[in-house]
Amino acid sequence: MKYFILFIFLFTLSCSINKVKNNHGVLSLEKKFNKIQINKSNSNDVINIFGPPSTKSTFDNNVWIYIERKKTNRSIFKLGNQKIEKNNVVVLEINKKGILSKKEIYDIANMNKYEFSKKKTSKKYGKDSYIYGVLSSLRDKIDAPIKRTKSKK
């Protein structure tokens, strides 16, 4: 009984009242977003305020993307599942002269919920088809042991 009470006491001491927060990306994007102005801020201003971009567009190097994500742990009854508190994305377009030409911010309310199809694709070839014969012969060749011949002396 003494050990059980000691165990419960130590378990409750190890629990924290403060929730664990996991931050990823650039912190406080909303405040930094309001500091820059279209046609006034240049790329150096953006780097000084935001830092280097999280990603740059692969199609156009003048599109910079900054990401912020904050997750917190739920209660002990949810078994440590995390909830997304913030999910902000800032997209900045910089023209050829290095001046900010467009800025947009997307938050957690703008996230789209995608539903994926649960249908499965069925194969369209049988044992009598040409593709089945080619694939089975390749499988047989891969699975076959290597024949070793003795060299004649």
Structural domain of 53 = 18-110
Total structural domains in the chain? 1
> Is position 97 within any domain?
yes
How far is Cα 64 from Cα 33, in angstroms, rounded to an integer?
Answer: 13
> Is position 75 within any domain?
yes
92 touches 100 (CB < 8 A): yes
Residue 65 φ/ψ, nearest 5 degrees = -125, 130
Query: pLDDT for 23-35, tens place per residue?
Result: 778 888 889 999 9
Query: pLDDT for 74-116, tens place per residue?
Result: 766 666 677 778 888 999 999 989 899 999 998 887 766 667 7
> Is position 115 within any domain?
no
> Is position 30 within any domain?
yes
> Is position 60 within any domain?
yes
Helix residue ranges per DSSP H, 15-102: 29-35, 43-50
> Is position 7 within any domain?
no
